[in-house]
Amino acid sequence: MQNECINVPINAILDEMSVWMPILAEHLKFHRGGIDPSIKQDCIFQNLDFSARQIDYLTNMIFSPGTAQSDIHRNPVKTILPQVLAVSDIKKFMYQGIKSCEILSIIPSELADHMRRETDRFIGIIGGPKPTREDLGVPGGDKKVIGVPRLMLASLAGKEKFTAVVEEIMFFSHINEEHSHHIAMTTKPEIQEKYARKAKEFEKLFKENVQRAKSVEDRGKGLGRLIEDTLKLMKEFKRFGLMLLKGAESCALPEEQTNAWPLMDDHILREGDYFVELLEIAMK
């Protein structure tokens, strides 16, 4: 398979891996914890567990101090890409199984597809097949995304940078629209209604931001203001998410916790940190 990121500096690839490898492993763990624990689904549980452990192992191999001069550190894509492509296949399998009710899980099919889209974006960024915008759930049909590591955004020129940044804003606005929906759906009825209302407000704002980004692309102007406003929205969303995480970890929320794992709240926050840093790089 041709590596489309062959000229990308290794530090840019490692930056992406340091963020997304743990996230991809957590996706598998969420699926593992979400499926019905019946004997009929034990094989699925075991496969998810093995795959999560494998990604964790590879992450540790890449970022352990003793591997700085090893082959896996010098060319991590060669080792990681086949494994991550397999993870994408697992997530497609989970989405299709949950959607068709062949797999019983408390993970909604929409969230399963959300995990697959994040995986496919990461694959394209580290040198695998570039997904289309439709693959990633954003406007633009079968047009392939530019998809470069975030540390490379500032080095892009002209229209290429403009399009790459707009694509990222559309993608992560849609991702956070879904994060907000998930938060709203996992609050406890009545007793945590104020958190559900706030999450639904964010869901609406992120959905609008996707359309605003598409409008900026169509007009060919307004990107600077879009970045600034998206940064502001993200920082507000992160404050909300941090409040929920701290409240869940200390059992300080009404009824102690929401119906989501605290790791899921932390997971969403780390993705938010990544997007904020991406936007700050894009402003340079």
Domains and CATH numbers, the chain: 1-129 (1.20.1260.120), 132-284 (1.20.1260.120)
At residue 6, the pLDDT reads 45
| pLDDT at residue 1, as a whole number | 36
The per-residue pLDDT for 5 is 42
Place of tokens 């591997």: 67
Give the per-residue pLDDT at 8: 79
pTM: 0.93
pLDDT of residue 223: 96
Residue 66: predicted pLDDT: 66
Q: What is the 3-state secondary structure (H, E, C) of the chain?
A: CCCCCCCCCHHHHHHHHHHHHHHHHHHHHHHHHHECCCHHHHHHHHHHHHHHHHHHHHHHHHHCHHHCCCHHHHCHHHHHHHHHHHHHHHHHHHHHHHHCCCCCECCCHHHHHHHHHHHHHHHHHCCCCCCEHHHHCCCCCCCECCCCCHHHHHHCCHHHHHHHHHHHHHHHHHHHHHHHHHHHHCCCCCCCHHHHHHHHHHHHHHHHHHHHHHHHHHHCCCHHHHHHHHHHHHHHHHHHHHHHHHHHHCCCECCECCCCCHHHHHHHHHHHHHHHHHHHHHCC
Tell me the average confidence (pLDDT) per consecutive run of 10 residues in the chain, 284 residues long.
Answer: 57 95 98 95 96 95 72 83 96 98 96 98 96 96 95 92 97 98 93 94 98 97 97 98 94 88 96 97 90
pLDDT at position 190 = 87
What's residue 63's pLDDT? 87
